[in-house]
Amino acid sequence: MKLILNLFILLLIGFNSSSQNKETGHLTDLNRDYNIQDVLIETRDGAKISAIIVRKKETIEPKAAILQSTIYVRDKGRDLDALKESADKGYIGVIAYTRGKRFSPNEIWPYENDANDLFDIIDWISKQKWCDGRVGMFGGSYNGFTQWAAAKKLHPALKTIAPYVANRPGMGLPMENNIFINPNYEWAFYVGNNKYLDTIAGNDRQRFRNMMFKWWETGVAYNKMDSIDGTANKWFQRWLSHPSFDDYWQKMAPYKKDFSQIDIPVLSIDGYYNDSQNSGLYYLREHYKYNPNAKHYLIIGPYSHFGAQRNGSEEINGYKVDADALINTNEITYKWFDFIFNNAEKPKILKDKINYQVMGANEWRGAPSIEAMSNDHLKLYFTTEKFEGIYSLKGEKPVKNDFLTQKVDFADREISNNDYYPDPIIREELDMSNGYNFISEPLKEDILVNGSFIGELKVSINKKDFDYGVTLYEVMPNGKYFHLSYIIGRASYAKDITKRKLLNPNEIETIPFSNTHLVSKKLSKGSRLLVYININKNPFSEINYGTGKEVSKETINDANEPLEVKWYNDSFVEIPIWIDKNK
């Protein structure tokens, strides 16, 4: 239950904001220091985009424009405050709403038109007499995605972007590693039901909770969720029709060689406990892969989806963060813009390309790349030998092949599998009866776990597919469990997210995984590492019954015999670490 509530809250930003004025006239403002202009910008295909421009009245000379592009319409409060701040900082503040929102007469289809529309929006802004021809962008979540959408076909006027916790449609939400997860279901109504925000539907959490658990209990197909709800969800149905990371998703933001053309400076901000971290870091990794000379900076620390967009928080999911982890995202952003547009000093926090807070060490470190965050790694195998009642993680590959068998009855709704979500971050105990846990020997010295762990699962199953989870914990010297990182994934997409390749029943298969959450944490001498593996079966995402059919169309009638998994002992994880070799 806590999982879906947390994800839901992260997605539906601003539910408690004040109600919106839906009149279609021009904005009025009591503060006479600003010129506030309300416009419709026409795109090349005839769509109209609703936008607001805010300038200081005293401004005479053209200035650089700071653009926010968003699907969240809050034009009487938060939006105006943000635009005034841009004006107060010496820029022109512009906010453009996604096609179909606010005064735009077009249909609302999240993600689908932003890339093309933003080229036209930036072109229009750059030609206005109040703009000096330079545009920068910033913002988080959906607003982070729109910046990358704008970078897909880079307009010459766009000089920099500063995305926080940027969503990558098809990769973080509405599906994660090709598994559809539930939060975007209700989000579609929140942003799509009207020109503003449907806070009535958005606040009716009981409605969607009931729908989700009725789906779980009855075992109907995942694509019948809106039948259970009683209201058609056209956005949900369109997303479900694209379970592969196909052209539908690829065209929304930069993909492969698109990144080679992105030569503007980028400042990304993300969090270790941001649900959509794999989206934000996808952009960074691909940017450097296709453009090794990219000027892309990252700030990352123990932040949630919200915290990374603001100032962090003193406590996240029960974990009290180090004092130096707290940052002021807004202040850093405008210092970045001053650095880009006004030749000011670069923000002090940017010591290197990758700037990360080390949990438990109360310090920030820098590295020229994610790979350079570590100077060693621990390769640990899943053995069939037990240590104090838990299977052992060992550095030596087992000499003799062996396996552990797990059976999962998808028809049984009394038991769920895969409790991977990091809330709380620190646990007193783990359920050792569900899935398999593997524990290492105590560390002989302090180390930093720095980066994203990877691995391979060697398995054979009696079906054609399965969804798995791998979670990494530190078992601290006091016996408590500190959640470090995790992944959920679909085996049939493990080697290629664009094309599904089913498994051969009862044959040993290799399932590589790498898209785990990046983290930096100091582990003390005496700590141990624990890896938890399981099959994903719970009310919070699709259930993969393993028939090989389209997963969203499978039902409990497809459960038939239980899934039987043989986890082989040459499965392993590789954990990137930093060892201070000068000590």
472, 489, 470: which is closest to 481 by C-alpha? 472
**DSSP E strand boundaries for 409-508:** 426-427, 436-439, 447-451, 454-461, 467-475, 481-490
φ and ψ at residue 438, rounded to 5 degrees? -130, 130
Domains annotated for the chain, with CATH where assigned, are 2-13+34-367 (3.40.50.1820), 376-578 (2.60.120.260)
Q: Which residue has the tokens 């002021």?
A: 328
> Is residue 286 within 8 Å of 181, Cβ to Cβ?
no
60, 79, 200, 542 from 19: Cα distances, Å: 35, 13, 10, 34
Q: How far apart are CA 295 and CA 151, in angstroms?
A: 14
Q: What is the pTM of this model?
A: 0.94
Q: How many CB atoms lie within 10 A of CB 559?
A: 19
> Is residue 489 within 8 Å of 467, Cβ to Cβ?
yes
Provide the pLDDT for residue 164.
98
Provide the pLDDT for residue 31.
65
Helices (H), 397-552: none
Amino acid at 320: K
Provide the pLDDT for residue 32.
83
Provide the pLDDT for residue 583.
63
Radius of gyration for the alpha carbons in the chain, expressed in angstroms and rounded: 24
| Residues in the chain, overall count | 583
Tell me the two tokens of residue 96.
């453009």
Provide the pLDDT for residue 108.
98
Q: How many CB atoms lie within 10 A of CB 520?
A: 28
Q: How far apart are CA 393 and CA 380, in angstroms?
A: 6
Profile the chain (583 residues) by mean pLDDT over runs of 10 residues: 42 35 42 92 98 93 98 93 97 98 98 98 98 98 98 98 97 94 93 97 94 97 97 98 98 98 98 96 98 98 96 95 96 98 98 98 97 98 91 95 97 95 96 93 97 98 98 97 98 98 98 97 97 97 98 97 98 97 72
* Cβ contacts of 348 within 8 Å, gap of 6 or more: none
